[in-house]
Structure 1
Amino acid sequence: MAEGVNDVTAATWEQEVLGENGLVLIDFWAVWCGPCRMIAPTVEELAREYAGKVKVLKLNTDENPEIASRYKIMGIPTLMFFKGGQKVDQIVGAVPKPQLKAKLDSLINA
């Protein structure tokens, strides 16, 4: 896993996401997903740039279908944002880095 980005699974979801007070970005992805591979370097860059401000996690939807189902993930990549254990926003699809930075900045400052 890239620097600043950790894996989250169904077993660690409660602790890593719902138990976290600050802003958490979860990248829902799968090995076979081309757009997921396209956005991965951007997610890794953001993890480094926002270190200490945003916790960045990746969840493999094929290995953790119960979490993907619980949050009604219909397409990947889906980037979901949690704050204080509550889902506050999401972005579906491989979007440009400036759009992700704008979203993170608005959520950090909310």
Structure 2
Amino acid sequence: MKDSFGNIIDSKTPVLVDFYADWCGPCKMLAPILKQVKDELAENIKIIKIDVDKNQPLASKYQVRGVPTMILFKEGKQLWRQSGVLQKNDIINIINSHQ
């Protein structure tokens, strides 16, 4: 995952990474919100989900201490991060502000 992750976040299209865990209630609440974000922004955003339990080195590298944690990347640079659940419009506004 490490090699492909670097290639994915190196994209010119913003990439929203959702660090989550299967046992996390708020993560389950965030999943349909992220689907709505993807449906609305279409090709203007890539959204990937990273299971912190299966990808502990990656979670550690980005200092993910709680889930869900969202990190927005563009061309390999971290532009924004936040832990917890946000509403669809808030996430879209954050993504659009970093286009």
> Which TM class, normalised by the smaller chain length?
over 0.9
Residues 28-81 of structure 1, C-alpha deviation per residue, up to 9 Å, x if partnerless? Answer: 101000000001000011111111111111111100000100000011101100
Structure 1 runs (4+) greater than 4 angstroms displaced: none
Q: Match for residue 80 of structure 2?
A: 89
Q: Map of 1:70-81 to 2, 5 A cutoff?
A: 70-81=61-72
The structure that is helix-richer by fraction is 2
Q: Match for residue 4 of structure 1?
A: none
Q: Percent identity?
A: 31
Structure 2 unaligned spans of 5+: none
Structure 1 unaligned spans of 5+: 1-8
What is the number of equivalent residue pairs in this alignment? 99
TM-score between both structures, scaled by the size of structure 1: 0.84
Cα-Cα RMSD: 1.2
1:46 to 37, 45, 48: 37
